[in-house]
Chain A
Amino acid sequence: MVQQLSLTTQVERYKIQRLLLTLETLTGNISSPMHKHSVILKPRYPFTPENIPGKVNQIDSYRIRMNRIWEDGYPIKFESIDQIGADIFGESITKPSENINSSIWTLQLSDIPAGGKNSVLIQNIYETTIYQTDDVIGYLDELGYMHETEFWTNGVRFYYGNVILELSHIYILDNKTDAIDVDLNITDGSNTTNITSKLKLLDGSGNCHVKAYVNVGALTDLESVSLGIKQLESLKRELSEIVELHIPDRTVMDSRINSRIANSGSSNN
């Protein structure tokens, strides 16, 4: 289990270049690319325990997020802002292929972030990596999970002390253009386009998502936690001229099925 301490923010499109330069100067390093394909899974069947009076049911069911490398279909670098409207493709979990089934996937399951007066968000993440399989969807099906939604992350990472900084654009399936995709296959004739689907930006304005986080491996490692908080706070101060890192709303980060907190949160929006 990892305790993740984090701060997030949104950056407008025209500010991205400036932030990239600042981070290069601050960290003394160029960024490394990050291409991720994430799938959100939910239990196939609802969990409906018996209601015996006097017996308190404490078992929750959770969504699972699974990540793998987004290997094919991203023609643009994150830094090339001008090309934000360009065609982007990804292999969707809805079209199972050998590539999807034999990829290395990391399963992540998270608690709702801790409440209270912290200067950063603290969330427990349980994680295991599927290293070897030839039918990941089959296994997850047997496990009792099915896919709910999926997204693709195109971004860059910076390392600053223990802090990892991620700037990213999120893409989702562009359902409207499925028909066009088929046409493309005929003209193109290549294998890659056959199995990939067209994607679009989740946020069409081209604003980017920024996340700064520290992972602490051991639950009892309070020293690293306080060090991580300090490092995040100092980073926040250093970047305050360009972006304002803040604590994200914990209630929308609840991955439990039928969660009252998450539901009340979303109904307010």
Chain B
Amino acid sequence: MVTAVLFVNQATPTTITKFHDMIMNQLPETLPSWEFELGIFLNNKYSKPVNMDPKHIPNRYLYTLQLSYLNDEERGNRMISIINNNKSIVTCVPNSTHIINRLESFTTKRLNYYKDDDEPIKKVDEKSKEEEIVKKDVDVDGDIEMENENENEVKKQIDIVSEEKDLEKENIEIDDDLIMSRYEENSLDEMKRRKKLLKHIQNGCCNNLNAQTNENLELMLVSKLQSLWTLKQTIRGQGGLGYIINVELNDEEKKVKSQEKFRLRTSNCLLHGTFKGFLIEIEHLDQDMEKLEITNELKNMDETESKNRLILRFSRSITMIKSLIDTYKFPSGNLCFNVLSESKLDYLSDLCQQYCDALQF
């Protein structure tokens, strides 16, 4: 998955409503509302080599990013962190009940799923499909409430929603994206990692298994690592909306039109409670490539070959994202699509890097 973040500095209520209207006209699938929080830390200059003056210590920044849509029940306070635009980690607190309950059945099932390329849909059990549908209905309701301020909007949305529901019923049997989208990082690596986490817990490597905990990396930084890092700013994203859209775009290279799928998430960004701008997170959902990659992973393709494919995939996705922005006349702003490491696409840390680049005040 390749992402980019578009930050609209000069956003007005009109630009925002216009954008949502435009998206709605593409008959999107709506996603639950979301929030984010970006913490910016500066290094404490008094932690230094003994003979150096604090004034000569260079500035270094640590970012922590929390995205509410990553923190459903099984993911446990996920937080992405980057230091000095260089090294990244993803942290979590493995909340036991959900993780352990789901993990055992889930991992084995999913691992089998990936081994069996021919019939991926049948391997996923009916139950999770049903769950997905129930969840979606709830989400749609939630969205309607959100829009209550604007009556026209609501009417429009209800129309679209009912249309969409019909569409959904037709699609549900053939479209496994619903399930796929629920497990965003559905790579083989992620599945292995979940299994490892269970072993990690069983071996007594961590203590906090409380499902209601609010502990995360930021709490540790703020409360115990003050000698190293000082929290300077917290940028909050509120009133976030999300869509999945299918659009037809011109593929410049092949000179043909292609059907492309994107996940869009929008949010208002606030610093100390003041509105600073409008953020659009764009994710190109190139499922064919994704599946190809999983197959290649299983085939153990050689390194340079897979690296080349990765670069190719990345540049195509970025072209598609730019084409989407042009075609649908997104509000103008700063588009950030930097990645942390050129040799490897890492969905979460790249996304965090893009948020950091976009939200520089």
A residues at B contact (CB < 8 Å): 1-2, 4, 32-36, 43-50, 59-62, 67-70, 103-104, 106-109, 125-136, 138-139, 141-144, 157, 164, 166, 215, 217-218
Contacts and interface: CB of A to CB of B under 8 A. Distances in A.
A43 B79 CA distance: 22
A47 B223 CA distance: 16
A4 B206 CA distance: 12
A62 B60 CA distance: 20
A46 B207 contact: no
Nearest to A105: B205
A15 to B, nearest CB: 22
B111 interface: no
Contact of A2 (B46, B207, B224): B207
Contacts of A129: 91-94, 197, 200, 206
Given A48-B50, A50-B46, A144-B228, A166 B78 contact: no
B228 A143 contact: yes
Given A131-B193, A215-B208, A142 B224 contact: no
B197 to A, nearest CB: 6
A122 B220 CA distance: 19
Contacts of A136: 89
A35 B206 CA distance: 12
Contact of A138 (B49, B87, B344): B87
Given A67-B206, A136-B89, A128 B348 contact: no
B226 interface: yes
Given A106-B206, A127-B208, A144-B43, 10 more contacts: A1-B215, A2-B207, A36-B205, A68-B205, A69-B196, A129-B206, A134-B346, A144-B228, A215-B210, A217-B209
Contacts of B217: 128
Contacts of B228: 43, 47, 61, 143-144
Interface of B: 43-44, 46-50, 60, 62, 78-79, 81, 83-84, 86-94, 193, 196-197, 199-200, 202-210, 212-213, 215-217, 219-220, 223-229, 344, 346, 348
Contacts of B344: 134
Contact of B204 (A36, A47, A138, A142): A36
A34 B203 contact: yes
Given A127-B93, A132-B193, A138-B87, A144 B206 contact: no
B70 to A, nearest CB: 11
Given A127-B215, A218-B212, A133 B89 contact: yes
B64 to A, nearest CB: 11
Contacts of B208: 1-2, 125, 127, 215, 217
Given A128-B220, A215-B209, A60 B227 contact: yes
B213 to A, nearest CB: 6
Contacts of B206: 67, 106, 108, 127, 129
18 contacts: A1-B213, A36-B203, A45-B48, A48-B50, A68-B205, A69-B196, A104-B193, A109-B220, A127-B208, A127-B215, A127-B220, A129-B197, A130-B89, A131-B78, A131-B92, A143-B62, A144-B229, A217-B212
Contact of A69 (B79, B203, B223, B227): B203
A68 B47 contact: no
B352 to A, nearest CB: 12
A218 to B, nearest CB: 7
A47 B209 CA distance: 32
A44 B60 CA distance: 15
A47 B229 CA distance: 11
A104 B200 contact: yes
A103 B48 CA distance: 29
Contacts of B348: 132
A127 B207 contact: yes
B210 A217 contact: yes
Nearest to A67: B205
Nearest to B78: A131
Contact of B215 (A44, A126, A141, A166): A126
Contacts of B50: 45-46, 48
A135 B344 CA distance: 13
Contacts of A46: 47-48, 50
Contact of B47 (A4, A103, A144): A144
A130 B207 contact: no
